[in-house]
Amino acid sequence: MIKNILRIFLIIIPLFAQINEDLQIFLGADALSNAEFKKARGIYADLYEKTKNIYYARELAIIDAGSGDLGSALQFALLYQNTTKDTKDLPTSKIIADSYIKKGEIQKAIILLESIIQQEESPMLDNILGTLYLNQKQLHKALVLLEKYYEFSNDEEALKKILAIHFTRNENHRVVERLQKFFENNWCSDEFCSKSIEIFKQFDKNDIANKIFKKHYEENPNIKNAKYYLQVLMNQEKFDKAEEIVRLYPFDDVLLLDLFVAQNKFKEASEQARKIYEQKNEAKFLAWSAIYYYQHHANINKEDLQKVINDLNQAIEYRKVQREVNKENANNEDAYFYNFLGYMLVEYNLDIMRGIELIKNALEIAPNAIAYIDSLAWGYYKLGDCSQAQNTFSNIPREQVGQDKELKKHFELIKKCYR
C-alpha cells in the first residue's frame, strides 16, 4: 500500500512542477502584454534560474530591450544565439544589430540587418538600414529603402535624408521637385519650413516659395505662417510688402528696424532704434539710432551733427559699462561704433586726435577691416602726417582701392601729400 502511494507521489510531483512552470509562463506573458516589464522579468529570470531553459534567456533579452536595459538584453541575446546557433532569430538579431549601431560598428549592423530584412518586411527596418547605407555613402541602396519608407510613412525626417542624397548627387532639380511635391499635400515643421525656404533661395526658386507660403498664410493668417511668408519676402527683397506684414503682428521690434534699414528709411529706422533703446536699455540701439539719424540727413547741420556725436559718445560709454557688467569683450559692432564716431570727428575737424584714438580702438577689435584702415590713414592725412598716412594706406590692397569711390578719392589725396 505504502509503495503504491509513493509511486503515485512520484508521478504527481513532476506533473505539479510542469503545471507550475506553465502557470509561470502564462503569468509572465500576461505581464508582458500589460507592459509590466519588471514583473515579467522577475518571472522569466526565476524560470531561467530554475530550469536553464535557453528559451527563457531569449524572453529575458526581449524584456530587457523593451525596458531599455540594452546591455543586459545584448548579453541574453548573444547567450541565446551562441547556445542555439539560431543566428536568424529575429528578436535577438534586432537586439544585436542595435548594439552594433550604438557601438559604431555600422558594417556589422548592415550585414545583420540585410539578413533580417530578408525574413521580415518592415518599414522601420527599411528606414534604419537605409539610414545606415546613407551613413556609409551607399547612396543608391539608401535611396531605394528610404523612398520605400517615405512612401509608407510620409515622414519628414525620411524626406530630409532623401533630399540629402539628391544634394550629394548634385541633382538640384530633384530637390526642388521633391519639395514642391511635399507641399502639395503636407505642411512642415518649424525647422523644415525654414530649411525649405532657404533651399528654394539657394536654387533661385523664391517664386515657388512665395507661391507656397503666401497661399498658406492667406488661408491661415497667423503669426507663425506670417513668419515664413516674411522670410520668403525678405529673400525676394520685397521689403515694402514685408513691412506691411510685420505691422500686423507682434513681431520683435528689431525685425521692423531691419526692414526700415533695408529700404533706406533711415528716419524711421532712427526712431525705431531709439524706441528699442528706451524699451530695452541696450546701448547699441542708441548708437544705431544716432547713425541712422546721420544717414537720414544728406547735408547735416551743425546742431544735428552735435546731437549725433553726443548720442554716440553716450552709447559708447554705456556699452563699456554693459560689457563690464556682462563680462563681455568688445565685438565687431563696438568696432563699427568706434570707427563711425572717430571718422566723424576727423572728417568734420572736430577733434582729430580723439578721432584717431577711437579708430585705433576699432582696429584693435578688427585689425584687417579696410574701412577702419582707411579712416586711420585719413586721420593722419588730416593731421598733416603724410608719411603715417601713406604707410597706413599702403596696407589696403590696390585692387580694393579701385573698387570703392571713397577709397579711390582718399588714395589720390594721400598719394599727393608731401607736407
* 97-130 residue pLDDT tens: 777 778 888 898 888 888 888 888 889 889 988 9
Cβ contact 283:277 at 8 Å: yes
pLDDT digits (tens, 9 = 90+) for 289-339: 999 999 999 889 999 999 999 999 999 999 999 999 999 999 999 999 999
Which residue's entry shows cell 541574453?
76
pTM: 0.70
Nearest to 230 by CA among 177, 193, 184: 193
Give the cell for residue 255.
525685425
Span 186-220, pLDDT tens digits: 999 999 999 999 999 999 999 999 999 999 999 99
Grid cell at residue 241: 510688402
How much is the pLDDT for 270? 97
Distance CA 256, CA 396 (A): 36
For residue 403, pLDDT over 50 is answered with yes
Question: What CA–CA distance (Å, rounded) separates 106 from 153?
Answer: 24
Q: Which of 331, 342, 329, 414 is nearest to 371 (CA)?
A: 342
| pLDDT tens, residue by residue, 146-168 | 999 999 999 999 999 999 999 99
CA 412 from centre of chain: 47
- The mean pLDDT value of the chain amounts to 87
Tabulate helix, strand, coil % of the chain (nearest 5).
Answer: 80, 0, 20
Task: For 373-388, write each residue's pLDDT tens digit.
Answer: 999 999 999 999 999 9
Question: What pLDDT sits at residue 419?
Answer: 62
